[in-house]
Amino acid sequence: MATAITDAHEAQEALRGLFDAYGAGRKGAGPGEAGSGRAVFFGGAGVSTASGIPDFRSEDGLYHQRFDYPPETMLSHDFYVGHPAEFFRFYREKMVAPDARPNRCHVKLAELEEAGLLGAVVTQNIDGLHQAAGSKRVLELHGSTHRNICQSCGAVYTADWVLAQGDKTPDGVPACEKCGGRVKPDVVLYGESLDERTLMASVRAIAEADLLVVGGTSLVVYPAAGLIRYFQGDKLVIVNRDPTPQDGQADVLISCDIAQAFDF
């Protein structure tokens, strides 16, 4: 039977205890050394809602807003190719969040890594907030809005640059300043495959973990949601406001705001 927690204070105490008990890993390994940090965090859009970035499936998520096309369509590879102007309008308005700042969950995860109690963050998010909070080992399964790459010459541009192109080009489609090529966000669109190296590194991190804390994800977007099956460690913890299809596998099930749960 899973331990079920709904109270934020109880959640904080449980998480603190779990990271203390499992995070340190191999005896004697100091922070940042091989063998330190046998805990892994695997998160999704719910980690960033407290930073003001809407997720997809919550009540106030993007899937409950009205657009000309469904968000899955507008964030697909085919749409990017066939309707670039509309793709970039939606992308700039809804996917890039230049003013968002890390919340308590991002900050605590960075602190845990620094203390040698967390080995890696595996994230489905594309907002870069884990790095902004100071996390070093972040595996971005779906890429990042902070990298935008010319498909012709490989030049790399920032998110701010892509945002500025909205007014600078007639159709808002960013063109490379060096060669005129199309600049594509380094984000995995529906219909595209995940970066193999990032995926394998995520599988390895999860397979080697003693403690896996999964948070702020509906666990319905594959292949990311399938990563949990590689976990062979001691404790699987799920921290999510709404139920997920994998709740039955959790040893500890925490149903509350994740930014509050990590405020310890």
Ligand X SMILES: NC(=O)c1ccc[n+]([C@@H]2O[C@H](COP(=O)([O-])OP(=O)(O)OC[C@H]3O[C@@H](n4cnc5c(N)ncnc54)[C@H](O)[C@@H]3O)[C@@H](O)[C@H]2O)c1
Catalytic residues: 142
User: 124: Cβ–Cβ under 8 A, 6 or more apart, which residues?
Assistant: 43, 44, 45, 141, 142, 217, 221, 224
CA distances to 103, 113, 161 from 40, in Å: 19, 10, 33
Minimum CB distance to ligand X smaller for 86 or for 127: 127
Q: Which range binds ligand X by CB under 6 A, 10-18, 78-86, 111-119, 237-245?
A: 237-245
| CA max distance for the chain | 60
Cis peptide bond N-terminal to 223, omega within 30: yes
Chosen residue from 71, 73, 132, 152 binding Zn ion by CB under 5 A:
152
Q: Does residue 156 belong to the site contacting Zn ion (CB under 5 A)?
A: no
217, 228, 236, 237: which one binds ligand X (CB under 6 A): 217
Interacting residue with ligand X among 69, 147, 221, 247 (CB under 6 A): 221
Q: Report the distance separating Cα 51 and Cα 227, nearest Å.
A: 25
Let me know the angle formed at the C-alpha of 156 by 45 and 181, rounded to the nearest 5 degrees: 110
What residue 85 binds from ligand X, Zn ion, none (CB within 5 to 8 A, per partner kind)? none
What is 195-230 written as a DSSP string? Answer: PHHHHHHHHHHHHH-SEEEEES--S-STTGGGGGGG
**In the complex with ligand X, which residue's Cβ is closer, 40 or 259?**
259
Site for Zn ion in 110-129 (CB under 5 A): none
| Stretch in the footprint of Zn ion (CB under 5 A) among 27-35, 82-90, 155-163, 242-250 | 155-163
- 53 is in the binding site of which of Zn ion, ligand X, none (Cβ under 5 to 8 A by kind)? ligand X
> Of residues 12, 76, 79, 127, which one binds ligand X by CB under 6 A?
127
Q: Which is nearer to ligand X, 148 or 217 (CB)?
A: 217
DSSP-based three-state secondary structure for 238? strand
Instruction: Quickly list H helices, 34-139.
Output: 71-74, 77-82, 84-90, 104-114, 129-133
Instruction: Report if residue 45 touches ligand X, rule: CB under 6 A.
Output: yes
Q: For residues 172-211, which are near Zn ion according to CB under 5 A? A: 176, 178-179, 181
Decide: 55 and 45 in contact? Cβ < 8 Å.
yes
Choosing from 148, 150, 258, 262, the residue that interacts with ligand X (CB under 6 A) is 258
Among 49, 131, 135, 202, binds ligand X (CB under 6 A): 49
Of 89, 55, 70, 2, the C-alpha closest to 217 is: 55
CB atoms within 10 A of CB 230: 15
**Residue 250 binds to ligand X (criterion: CB under 6 A):** no
User: Minimum CB separation from ligand X for residue 122, in Å?
Assistant: 12
Q: How far is CA 188 from the centre of its chain?
A: 12
Which lies closer to Zn ion via its Cβ, residue 81 or residue 179?
Answer: 179
Residue numbers at the binding site for Zn ion (CB under 5 A)? 150, 152-153, 155, 176, 178-179, 181
Residue numbers at the binding site for ligand X (CB under 6 A)? 44-46, 48-50, 53, 55-58, 61, 124-127, 142, 216-218, 221, 240-242, 257-259
